[in-house]
Amino acid sequence: PECAGTIRALGDGVRDRQVGDKVMVLARSGLWQEVVNVPASSTFPMPEGMSFEEAAALLVNYITAYMVLFDFGNLRPNQSVLIHMAAGGVGTAAIQLCKTVENVTIFGTASASKHDFLRESGVTHPIDYRTMDYAEEIRKISPKGVDIVLDPLGGSDTSKAFNLLKPMGKIIIYGAANVITGHKKSLVAMAKTWWNQFCINALQLLSQNKAVCGYHLGYMVEEVELIGGVVAKLVNLYTQGKIKPKIDSVWPFDQVGDAMRQMQEKKNVGKVILVPELPKEESKKGEN
């Protein structure tokens, strides 16, 4: 859904772009190619000093993290946030954005091997979801719970997260990784996760004083003005040095299988990038 490159040609009537402009692109699909054809409104000028790899890693993760944290989450100083999959693309973006607000406490779930990275990134309390109950760990540190939960998991984790919210707290659901990931995931396991999907009605929300939000960038790519405003804010933060996309690794198109495996096996810390081909210097290193 995202890529970066140089404009080769313009369609009739395009006045605000020029051939040779370096741009970031947001689209629903079809970007794993050397040349793509997209509406001009789906392109955003790259800021000075940004690499194509960074540009390809910015839009989806940072737009999602920004809108979830600030537009839905209304993050303010002295609040606390739970970020699941904290070492992933949206997770690392969310951590950086949390650091732009004063005195935010960040709880981040990830496997233990990624905790040093998370601490260096600004996570206050990394939690190994594989060996401990993250809800219990959070309660030990913050008995009242947290103000905001970013939930890409779905299933029973959404219920746990909702129960962790303080009064006036917000959970923003932006994925269902529990349903769709895992190379050994069986249909029975998927059905069980779906059955355990969190469900609440409006009257129950009244007594809880909590908010449940749903976010999916894919259904908003047509909202040009809305998305454009967020991208402008992100570019401003980038030029100020407050955010910087974390690149895990860069793979040529002919190694796309290895790139996907890197993510499926949860080895990546940050974004996995595809390029048509690696520069000659890097290719030589790989051969050696």
* Correct CATH for 2-58+222-275 of 3.30.70.2860, 3.90.180.10, 3.90.550.10, 3.30.70.260: 3.90.180.10
Ramachandran sector of residue 287 (left: φ over 0; alpha: ψ -120 to 50; beta: rest): alpha
Q: What does the pLDDT profile of the chain (288 residues) look like in tens digits?
A: 899 999 999 999 999 999 999 999 998 888 888 899 999 999 999 999 999 999 999 999 999 999 999 999 999 999 999 999 999 889 999 999 999 999 999 999 999 999 999 999 999 999 999 999 999 999 999 999 999 999 999 888 999 999 999 999 999 999 877 665 554 556 666 666 666 677 888 888 899 999 999 999 989 888 999 999 999 999 999 999 999 999 989 999 899 999 998 888 878 887 889 998 876 655 434 443
Alpha-carbon torsion, ordered 8, 12, 18, 21, to 10 deg: -40
What CA–CA distance (Å, rounded) separates 154 from 177?
7
- Whole-structure pTM value: 0.89
The fold of the 73-214 domain, in CATH, is Rossmann fold (3.40.50)
User: How many of the other CB atoms lie within 10 Å of CB of 136?
Assistant: 10
Domain ranges of the chain: 2-58+222-275, 73-214
What CA–CA distance (Å, rounded) separates 256 from 136?
39
